[in-house]
Structure 1
Amino acid sequence: MADFRPVLLGTDLGVYSIARSFHEAYGVRSIVVSNQSRGPVDHSRILDNVLVGAGASEDQTVAALVDVARRHAGTPLLLLVNAEHEVEMLVRHRAVLEEHYVIPYAANEVLTAAGDKEVLAAACERLGIATPATRAVDLSSADDGGWAPPRLDLTFPVVLKPAVSAEHLLLSYEGKRKVYSAATQAEADAVLRRLATAGLRDVVLVQELIPGDDTQGRTVTCYVDRSGEVTLMASGQLLLQLHAPTMIGNSATILTEAQPQIEAQAAAILGELGFTGFANFDVKVDPRDGRAHFLDLNPRIGRPNYYLNVAGRNPARAVVADFAAELGTAPASGPLYRPEQELGVYSYLPWRLVRRYLTEPELRRRVGRVHRTRRFTHPLAYPLDRDPRRGFYRAASTVNLVRDFKEHYPEPTPTGL
């Protein structure tokens, strides 16, 4: 067992997946710092949950992290966060946290820039990489009496989303969605007015909608070490995403089939930005011409990160290899991973549900073959972390997810919206 301890923020499935990766690779128990106890991390044998308390402020969370470090003095601690607002918290409090933790993230200015969708679009334009036609609408002056949504010189339909997600994440208002769609200028105006009324004072990106259902989506996840070398790369085809209003865009089922051209483009973008650490890209392939359009760069490992393990790429090994000296581990010898990415399916949705949304017959047959070979992996189904209460949570969660699809996305659509 390793002598270092990973320290993670949050309680969702993505946080548990990170803890599982470290336990599989090094047999180490992670420390999870959270404001509540939730199903994905409850009753787990591979982590210790430190509760800060519901409604804890950012300063209280930082204080709790410092307290954890003091209680584990002498043990190297690796801090990982996996949400937009947590990345921003890390930027604001980095000087304090770096006194106690190994922080495997890019410099603050690079990290902040990478989380801005306008920066991604500009980098793609410089590199000749496709992105949807986009217009930025600044809501900072929405309090002015004469403010009105601008005329958009785009081809409708369009999608609308905040350029930086963290501010919008903290807003609460009726009808809130992570991503909006609009078929006309009037509908786009209504969305922009709704966001302004809710208090958003940041930039909203309006993008021409790339057609195609969920299966046109692609995902790429990378780790770039401190020397600028990409030491982890895995990719896959999205099969089904969540469709509840505030969860749209979260990949739920991924076929871990490598996407070499998209991987090369992702590496080029990260090099252009001078990025280091974990990064996850959302991509959509236009079925009209087969061209891949980069939609988002998340400067973190992402919620569905266990798909990396299904692909044969344990992400814990990449970050530990980069910080071996600081963590007191032996430097990696030889390649971290086999050259070939493994084929499988990452999914926390049941096959009977996924199958309904695979309308292309050959794709449905291929995924069915993977399912029959038992390479259909649920991130919470860890054989070394069994507990009847965890099994009950998984079953109840599955029922709720199926209910959400019935309510919000009962049938596949040509756009995935």
Structure 2
Amino acid sequence: MGSGSTTGRRRGAPGPTVDRDVPALIVKFGNYPLHHGGVGAIRSLGRLGIPMYAITEDRWTPAALSRHLRRPYVWPTTGTEEPGRLVEGLLRVGRLIGRPAVLVPTDEEAAVLIAEHQEELAPAFLFPRTEAELPRRLASKQGLHELCTEHGVATPEAAFPASYADVVAFAERARFPVVAKNREAFVRRHRPAVRGTTRIAGPRELLALAREWGDAPGVILQEYLPREEAEDWIVHAYFDAHSEPRALFTGVKVRSWPPHAGMTACAYVVDNPELAGLAAQFVKRIGFSGIVDLDLRFDRRDGQYKLLDFNPRMGAQFRLFESESGVDVVRAQHLDLTGRAVPEGEQRAGHRYLVENIDLPALLAYRRSGYTTPHAPARADSTELAWFAADDPVPAFAMLGRMVRPGVRHLYETYEARSKGRGGGA
């Protein structure tokens, strides 16, 4: 069963032998229907004959329309619901599936909920068991910074102001530019202090922003690593109950959207044994089990890989990586949790991953800036598209429809307004 979305000379490996009696459920909370990672997980496991289910916002999300999905469970959520309500909803879905299913969370809210309610969810689902508080701590910028400091892992210098006065004191001593981020991952469902990673040029700009943060700023102020002196690397892996890597991959992020600070738009597989060793060692020390998606920046000024983000769940671009034995991190988890051996194999080289709907604007932005990634290969032997797959084309068309619809609505409303204006003046 080759990967239907791979183009070029090489195609995916046939894939390992899995337990087709054990289904899988894609779990996501919040309203973000254009999520290619969930579609990728449905295809990856579905192509092996595993019954696939997914929680979706409605019946017309791209994930809900995949031919590899047996059934979508329409359950609109915001991510701000009481945990008890979300646990009840998950158990209700589990009863509808009718047999224990492997859980595949695609966001921090789902990963944290599963970890913190393991005992209630265990009878209905299969998932890696880890320390209940650990995923929430890893998803927090402050919690991750503390863990890195505790275990000697390089990370950008950071401050965590508790008041406006703390921001003023920081502005007086800091070396600008600096970066502001929301301290907790979950704040995006409420009222974030900043929209995303925000570069701040100087003290005046910082203080102007801080006036809007209230008495308790929920931000981290972090050292800025100039892109001219840095490289963006990613690690995707699955760790078993003993925090041993059963599948571990490394690559470089070539483009992101928004530029230099957002979701991966284009990435390449690049072997990096040093980085793989650093990641495995850190995960072993903290005792995490499950799928991880790490973002690191190599700072050429001091020769260190600095950990920026630790996502305790599947990353949206996980299909960049597959071993020569046909294993990706989602397949590795299913194999391990169902008692099957995870076949060994080197990561397939020369592979590229593109997210069609965001890579074009990212490409234009990067070309204007003149920035290139030093370790990006000159060419790829094969390319996997996030949305389009020859054996499953409908999700790509659904994605396009959802992107075009707001623009069409805007054009129609503009036309109506102008028509009324002309009519009133006649």
Please give the range of the TM-score, normalised by the shorter of the 2 chains: 0.7 to 0.9
| Partner SS state of residue 309, structure 1 | coil
Structure with the greater alpha carbon radius of gyration: 2
Q: CA deviation at 1:284?
A: 1.1
2:65 equivalent in structure 1:
43
User: Are 2:31 and 1:17 equivalent residues in the alignment?
Assistant: no
Pair 1:299-2:312 in alignment = yes
Q: Secondary structure at the match of 2:126?
A: coil
CA gap of 1:70–1:338, structure 2 versus 1, over 3 A, is same
- Alpha-carbon offset, residue 109 of structure 1: 2.0
Structure 1 residue 69 and structure 2 residue 69: aligned? no
Cα deviations by residue, 1:335-368 (Å, 9 ceiling, x for unpaired): 624224422111113776665426467969944x
Tell me if the contact between 2:256 and 2:362 (Cα under 8 Å) persists in the aligned partners.
no
**Aligned-partner Cα distance in 2 for 1:49–1:29:** 12
Alpha-carbon distance in structure 2 between the residues aligned to 1:135 and 1:195: 15
1:261-410 matches, cutoff 5 A: 261-309=274-322, 313-325=327-339, 331-332=340-341, 336-349=343-356, 356=364, 357=366, 359=370, 366-367=377-378, 369-370=379-380, 373=381, 375-387=382-394, 390-395=395-400
Matched residue SS, 2:254? strand
Shift of 1:129: 3.2
Deviation at 1:238, TM superposition (A): 0.5
**Does the 8 A contact of 1:220 with 1:281 survive in 2?**
yes
* Alpha-carbon distance between aligned partners in 2 of 1:396 and 1:276, rounded to the nearest angstrom: 38
Q: 1:324 to 1:397 in 2, by over 3 A?
A: same
TM-score (structure 1 length as normaliser): 0.78
Does the residue aligned with 1:88 lie in a helix, a strand or coil? Answer: helix
Rounded Cα–Cα distance in structure 2 between residues aligned with 1:228 and 1:53: 34
Give the CA deviation at 1:264.
Answer: 1.3
Q: CA deviation at 1:391?
A: 4.0
- Cα separation, 1, equivalents of 2:243 and 2:376: 40
Aligned counterparts, 1:13-412, within 5 A? 13-24=36-47, 26-37=48-59, 39-47=61-69, 48-53=71-76, 57-58=81-82, 59-73=84-98, 75-138=99-162, 149-152=167-170, 153-166=173-186, 168-172=187-191, 176-196=194-214, 201=216, 203-212=218-227, 216-243=231-258, 248-309=261-322, 313-325=327-339, 331-332=340-341, 336-349=343-356, 356=364, 357=366, 359=370, 366-367=377-378, 369-370=379-380, 373=381, 375-387=382-394, 390-395=395-400
Q: After TM superposition, give the deviation of residue 236 of structure 1 in Å.
A: 0.7
Shift in CA distance, 292/398, structure 1 to aligned 2, threshold 3 Å: farther
Label 1:55 to 1:271 Cα distance change in 2 as closer, same or farther (>3 A): closer
Secondary structure of 1:138's aligned partner: coil
Q: CA deviation at 1:158?
A: 0.6
Aligned length: 374
- Secondary structure, aligned partner of 1:151: helix
User: For 1:113-135, what per-residue CA distance to the aligned partner results, in whole angstroms no more than 9, with x for missing partners?
Assistant: 22233333334334443211111
TM-score, normalising length from structure 2?
Answer: 0.77
Shift of 1:257: 1.0
Structure 2 gaps of 5+ residues are: 1-18, 406-426
Cα deviation for residue 260 of structure 1 reads 1.9
The residue type paired with residue 233 of structure 2 is: R
Tell me, in whole angstroms, the C-alpha distance in 2 between the residues paired with 1:112 and 1:364.
Answer: 32
1:271 CA displacement? 1.5
Aligned partners of 1:123 and 1:269 also within 8 Å? no
Q: Which moved more, 1:155-164 or 1:315-324?
A: 315-324
SS in 2 for 1:306: helix
